[in-house]
């Protein structure tokens, strides 16, 4: 089992739709969590950190469920410009340096 798993998609949604991605992680000692966005043939960029209480940034909401070991990203009112790959990142745990990236979920928003 991969340490961090994401549904690869692609998710094809119309503009204005609400879409949600989940990311599961296997290391219960993980301590910090992020969502990064990666455009085609570009570098990843931080979208938002994920806090235990959940956090919102405009149309984006991230939540952490430690009991079930997953994080989620909700995008409301999807825009064409939201089309990208969304990478889940999990940090921490035992055994040295532990930053694990998920393989990403691809989103296409269509007019």
Q: Which residues bind another protein (CB under 8 A)?
A: 4, 8, 31-32, 34, 42-46, 49, 87, 91-92, 96-99, 101-104
Tell me how long the chain is.
Answer: 111
Burial annotation 43-60 (CB, 10 A radius, 16+ → b, else e) = ebeebbebeeeeeeeeeb
CB of 10 to another protein, least distance (A): 13
Q: Which is nearer to another protein, 62 or 104 (CB)?
A: 104
Residues facing 62 on adjacent strands: 55, 73
Q: Which is nearer to another protein, 36 or 78 (CB)?
A: 36
CB of 91 to another protein, least distance (A): 4
Q: Which is nearer to another protein, 66 or 110 (CB)?
A: 66
Cβ-contact 28, 3 below 8 angstroms: no
Residues 6+ apart with CB under 8 A from 12: 108, 110
CB of 98 to another protein, least distance (A): 8
Q: Which is nearer to another protein, 22 or 76 (CB)?
A: 22
């Amino acid at each position: 089992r991969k340490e961090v798993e994401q549904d690869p998609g692609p998710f094809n949604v119309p503009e204005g739709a609400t879409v949600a991605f989940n990311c599961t992680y296997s290391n219960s000692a993980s301590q910090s969590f992020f969502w990064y966005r990666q455009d085609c043939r570009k570098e990843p960029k931080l979208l938002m950190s994920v806090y235990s209480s959940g956090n919102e940034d405009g149309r984006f909401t991230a939540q952490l469920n430690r009991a079930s070991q997953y994080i989620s990203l909700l995008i409301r009112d999807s825009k064409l410009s939201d089309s990208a790959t969304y990478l889940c990142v999990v940090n921490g745990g035992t055994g040295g340096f532990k930053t694990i990236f998920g393989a990403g979920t691809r989103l296409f928003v269509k007019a």
